[in-house]
A and B are shown apart, each in its own frame.
Chain A
Amino acid sequence: MKMTVLKSAIAGLALVATGVMAEEGTVGFEINGDIPIVTRVPAAAHLDGALSEAISGWEYRDSSTQAMQMDDFDNPAMLAVEQAAEVWNTAMGTVGKSCADCHGDVNESMIGIRATYPKWNEKAGEVRTLAMQVNNCLTENMGAEAWKYDGADMAAMEALISIPSRGMPVNVAIDGPVASVWEQGKEMYYTRYGQLELSCASCHELNYDNLIRADHLSQGQINAFPVYRLKDTGLVTTHGRFKGCVRDTRAETFAAGSPEFVALELYVASRGNGLSVEAPAVRP
């Protein structure tokens, strides 16, 4: 653990040097007393002033939920992380290889990965989420079956892969080959879906920090995903959360892993550029 922290600190420094402004943000808390988490950061220029600050969902949770996220011993997501660590080392599929056979120690090879996804995959010529990348390894490199996009296995693996990036600034690219997908996601963010005619922005841009019934609205950032949801006693993926929010507008939702949700994920991730990776976080 010590080693990992040191490495991610070094990786973090390298990113700062290339212009990610982690030093501009406010450290809201530390995980395990040694991973500083930036929970407020000046909003990225590409938001054109739509937000003045990007703010982590952690800020809107009550103090007992916040505390569970501050110590891995209290974070119920860590059970799934441990299970995924075993899966990481287990040979799967016809090729007879494990993740570790190609990627070695997850805490070294996956440093910084969670912070830059979704991102362009040159060979495939498409924007890939972390979950797509995992499924691609399973089917193309291991001869195994793909996992359910927003199922428990995938959520746990995403949580494991997030650990070595905790504390690093989210730094998703929005230009070059991903630009049109990012634009698609942006348009979705402002589309008023369903019979209630509410967009993501209706709740998470115009009304964050307001109560809607008993819920304290956050900015709907995804730097903390997958999250452990106490109500569901399990991990919730980004697309799982998107499905719930679209359903709550009395709309026909999109499928987890659909091109639409991939585009929306890229756009929503970019709204949080500069916030620290917090996954796996805890939610009520």
Chain B
Amino acid sequence: MKSIIQMAVGLAMVGTVAMAGEVAPDDVAYDEYGAVAVSLTGVAGDPANGIKIMTERSKGNCIACHQVTALAEFPFHGEVGPMLDGVGANRSEAELRGIVANAKITFPESVMPSFYKTHGYIRPGDAFTGKAGTEPLPPLLTAQEIEDVVAFLMTLQD
């Protein structure tokens, strides 16, 4: 009974506080290069869902900035970031997890948004409404969504 109540509380707070068993945004252990060795959820990532997150505007919208040949069926890839073909061969899973969670630790000053971060913003908004938001904000992606994106990136072997 107690655990059900705790679950309910957890659900009510989804978006601001990590689910039980997840690494919360403030607790992610980045190494000195910005890599994150341990899964944020302990649940294997789903590369198919990773594709959705990479391509949907309301999710990661990664292709707004990156070209990915494997995602050519989804229109309009941007040129702001490097092309990601082969990135799963060139980088380790830990490096990719760190870059997707908070690219600015690997690449200081990067224009790439930090997807697993909830506070420390200048004039944070309420999504795309232009109105004020209140920190902590829900991170741009959940822990599992980050794992899903990383699983997809690992499939980019050439």
- Residues of A near any B CB (own CB < 8 A): 191-198, 202, 206-207, 210-214, 243, 246-253
Q: How large is the interface on B (under 10, 10 to 19, 20 to 34, 35 or more residues)?
A: 20 to 34
Further contacts, 6 of them, CB under 8 A, given A214-B76, A251-B122: A193-B123, A194-B122, A195-B140, A198-B113, A213-B61, A251-B124
Query: Residue B127 at the A interface, CB < 8 A?
Result: yes
Chain A nearest CB from B99 CB (Å) reads: 15
Chain A nearest CB from B103 CB (Å) reads: 10
Query: Residue B2 at the A interface, CB < 8 A?
Result: no
Instruction: Please tell me which one of the listed residues A192, A197, A252 contacts residue B130 in the complex, with CB atoms under 8 A apart.
Output: A252
Which secondary structure dominates where chain B touches chain A? loop
Provide the residues of chain B in CB contact with A197, threshold 8 Å. 104, 113-114, 121-122
Within 8 A of A (CB), among B120-158: 121-133, 137, 140
Is A212 a contact of B122 with CB atoms below 8 Å?
no
23 A-B residue contacts at CB 8 Å?
Answer: A191-B122, A194-B122, A195-B124, A195-B125, A195-B133, A195-B140, A197-B113, A197-B114, A197-B121, A207-B79, A210-B79, A211-B79, A211-B80, A212-B64, A212-B80, A214-B76, A247-B125, A250-B124, A250-B125, A250-B127, A250-B128, A251-B123, A253-B125
Provide the residues of chain B in CB contact with A193, threshold 8 Å. 121-123
Chain B nearest CB from A206 CB (Å) reads: 7
Instruction: Please tell me which one of the listed residues A202, A213, A249 contacts residue B63 in the complex, with CB atoms under 8 A apart.
Output: A213
Query: Residue B111 at the A interface, CB < 8 A?
Result: yes
Bound complex: CA A247 to CA B114 (Å): 17
